[in-house]
Amino acid sequence: MKIPISALLAQKDPVIRWVAPGATVQDAVAAMAAHRIGCIVIIDDDHLAGLFTENDLLVRVVAAGLDPRTTPITRVMSPRPITVEPSLTLDKTMALISEKRVRHLPVVEGGRLVGLVSIGDLNKWIVERLQSEADALRSYVTGQYPG
């Protein structure tokens, strides 16, 4: 699919959920639970400082025996996450997610965070497009195509 990530981002909620570097794991998890998201961004002085995911919670906090109430998010976040530009195509984004074994990619343009794309976002987009194409073909074959 030669469609840029920017097309997908245009259809998503533009609000990026984030916490500051001074937050605790508990703060981050509370925000993630409140918004039903699997990843939260850590922003420091308007710059992407890192990501914290459900996997980070399991591996770096729970399995390590850390207390979420007192553990700073900066201790367990993924610093310097892989980022992509809005012009990257969806197929290349899917390949990158698969190759790097990540579920979330921050979208950065000119050093500024402009969005976050997840494997779920990509799967939903692809399924919706395939369904739309199938519906159009079905209409064409049955003679109900408006064009």
CATH number at residue 50: 3.10.580.10
Q: Which of 74, 70, 69, 72 lies closest to 51 in space, CA to CA?
A: 74
Q: Which of 85, 61, 65 lies closest to 73 in space, CA to CA?
A: 61
Neighbours of 120 (CB within 10 A): 12
pLDDT at 111: 87
Q: Quick check: helix, strand or coil at residue 29?
A: helix
Q: Quick check: helix, strand or coil at residue 113?
A: strand
Judge whether 146 lies within some domain: no
Give, as one character, the DSSP assignment of residue 13. Answer: -
pLDDT at 140: 77
Q: What is the pLDDT along the chain (147 residues), one digit of tens a residue?
A: 689 999 999 999 889 999 999 999 999 999 999 999 999 999 999 899 999 999 999 999 999 999 999 999 999 999 999 999 999 999 999 999 999 999 999 999 998 999 999 999 998 888 887 887 777 787 778 877 665
Range 27-55 burial, b when 16+ CB lie within 10 A, else e: bbbebbeeeebebbbbbeeeebbbbbbee
Tokens representing residue 18 in the block: 């984030």
* CA distances from residue 41 to 31, 88, 104, 131, 133 in whole angstroms, order as listed: 11, 20, 10, 32, 34
Q: What is the bridge-based pairing of β-strands 104-109 and 39-44?
A: unpaired
Judge whether 69 lies within some domain: yes
Judge whether 147 lies within some domain: no
Number of domains within the chain: 1
Instruction: Write out the residue range of the structural domain in which residue 91 sits.
Output: 5-141
pLDDT at 76: 98
pLDDT at 147: 59
Judge whether 137 lies within some domain: yes
pLDDT at 1: 62
